[in-house]
Amino acid sequence: MSNLLQPHEADWYEASARERVAGLLDPKSFVEFVGPEQRAMSPHLAQFDLTGAFDDGIVVGRGRLDRQEVFVAAQEGRFMGGAFGEVHGAKLLGLLRAARDGAGRGGPRAVLLLLDTGGVRLQEANAGELAISEIINAIAQVRSAGIPVLGLVGGRAGAFGGGGIITACCSRIVVSKHARVSVSGPEVIETNKGVEEFDSKDRALVWRVCGARTRYLTGGADCYVKGSIQDFREAAIALMAHAPPFELATLTAEQQRLAERLERFGDCRDAPEIWRKAGLPQPERIAEITDDAFLAIQRPTGADHDAR
């Protein structure tokens, strides 16, 4: 990142987890929990001849967003692909539990999850997988306590595997044009099902299937931003004010929303087929147009919703 840029002007994609947190929150408001000086590192990587990180690839703490108290967790996609290991996952779990326990007692106004992850860290696969399940449970409890959980995605690693599932458990989701959100990565599908099923080298195809524009237009994300840290900050401030509650009515509406998506688009194999069925103009070009032109498109019916 250039030293000439102020933190919030920097590009989210290029920034480190700490730079994202610094630029996202009000200046100098961030207080880290279990910081790198405590060296809470993975004890499992050494047996794979891998070097650990003093923060195990995730930064957690509290700060202020637009003068409101928030909790924040940011994954570092450049360490082990931002993957969930035992310590990494436990730091996020502890943060979510603290948010839940603080509800109504001066706790945070919202929890911000800056996801940048390939999913489970295979060197500690069992611990990472269970951490993801624990985090999903904890997100449900935080939301039940009336605290919105916002997922922000736009890093190098995207949000894959359990990270994709966690994203869709959030109350609101912000994506930048670089964001990719999926469960199985394209390479995994190609390895298991063959190149005819998914050519992971076809970058344009990968973006159409997993990318931010597809997620935003189908209702898998609530806000699409161009990609500066400031863009994410403004989106988070706006979305924090109105988040769907975690209750039966919300999930019943999500059931209907996702069932309708299958009915309308269930036989589609590529994004332009969806846009054509949805009646969007020039469906073949949606992946290529500028961000401004993309943001001028009216989203298909049902893509803007509280059913999450």
Partner 1 sequence: MTLDEVLASLFPSGHQVERGPSGTLHGTAKIDGQGDVTVVGIVGGTPLGVDGAILLAGHVLAAVESGGRARIVVLVDTASQNMARRDELLGLNEYLAHLAKSLALASAHGHRIVSVLFGHAAAGAFIAAALSSQSLVALPGAEPSVMDLPSISRVTKLPLEQLKELAKTTPIFAPGIEPLFAIGAVTETWTADQPFASRLATLLRQPVATSDLRDRIGLERKGRLLAHKIAERVAAEAAAHA
Residues of span 9-38 touching partner 1 by CB under 8 A: 31, 33-34
Compute CA 86 distance to the chain's CA centroid, rounded to the nearest angstrom. 19
**Cα–Cα distance for residue pair 149/293, rounded to 1 Å:** 29
Regarding 222 and contact with partner 1 (CB under 8 A), the answer is: no
Tokens read off for 184: 């199985």
Write down the least CB distance from residue 90 to partner 1, Å.
Answer: 4
Regarding 161 and contact with partner 1 (CB under 8 A), the answer is: yes
Residue 290's contacts (CB-CB under 8 Å, 6 or more residues apart) are: none
Regarding 55 and contact with partner 1 (CB under 8 A), the answer is: no
> Which one, 34 or 229, has the nearer CB to partner 1?
34
Candidate list 133, 282, 298, 301; residue touching partner 1; CB under 8 A? 133
The amino acid at residue 248 is L
x/- letters, 196..215, toward partner 1 (CB under 8 A): -xx---------xxx---xx
Write down the least CB distance from residue 21 to partner 1, Å.
Answer: 15
> Which one, 149 or 240, has the nearer CB to partner 1?
149
Sign of the four-CA dihedral 72, 139, 178, 307: negative
- The string of DSSP codes covering 246-282 is SSHHHHHHHHHHHHHHHHHHTT--SHHHHHHHTT-SS
Rg (CA), the chain: 19
- The string of DSSP codes covering 75-144 is E-TTSGGG-B-HHHHHHHHHHHHHHHHHTTTT--SEEEEEE-B-SB-GGGHHHHHHHHHHHHHHHHHHHH
> Which one, 9 or 195, has the nearer CB to partner 1?
195
Write down the least CB distance from residue 138 to partner 1, Å.
Answer: 7
Q: Which of residues 234-263 bind partner 1 (CB under 8 A)?
A: 246-248, 251-252, 254-255, 258-259, 261-262
Q: Which of residues 93-132 bind partner 1 (CB under 8 A)?
A: 93-95, 97-99, 101-102, 105-107, 120, 122-132
Regarding 192 and contact with partner 1 (CB under 8 A), the answer is: yes
Candidate list 269, 281, 292, 296; residue touching partner 1; CB under 8 A? 269
